[in-house]
Amino acid sequence: MANWWKCQIVAEDNILSSSEKGEILYAKKGETSITLFNGVTEISIPQTAMKNIKLLCKATREETSYLEINYQLLQNRKATRYSNMAVN
């Protein structure tokens, strides 16, 4: 299971345009980017954009379970949507 962290947006920039300063999200570090997820939508940002985010605490086991389930459902919906698109 992934390590999710509760975080807060402390500064706005173009990369975080869909998030507002003060917003609480969850973050998971990947190899080259950070995934921000609010339980419904995700954005992927470069690791250098972490200067705009303050890590608050590690997500609890319950939060992590909830986030992973919803994150995987989102990924599955995206995969299904893209596989159903016809290429002309």
Per-residue pLDDT, 1: 46
Q: What is the pLDDT along the chain (88 residues), one digit of tens a residue?
A: 468 999 999 987 776 777 788 889 999 988 889 999 988 888 888 888 888 889 999 999 999 999 999 999 998 887 776 665 655 5
Secondary structure (3-state) at 21: coil
Burial of 1 (0-12, 13-18, 19+ CB in 10 A): exposed
Per-residue pLDDT, 79: 78
Domain containing 79 equals 5-84
Q: Into how many domains does the chain fold?
A: 1
Residue type, 83: S
The CATH number linked to 72 is 2.30.30
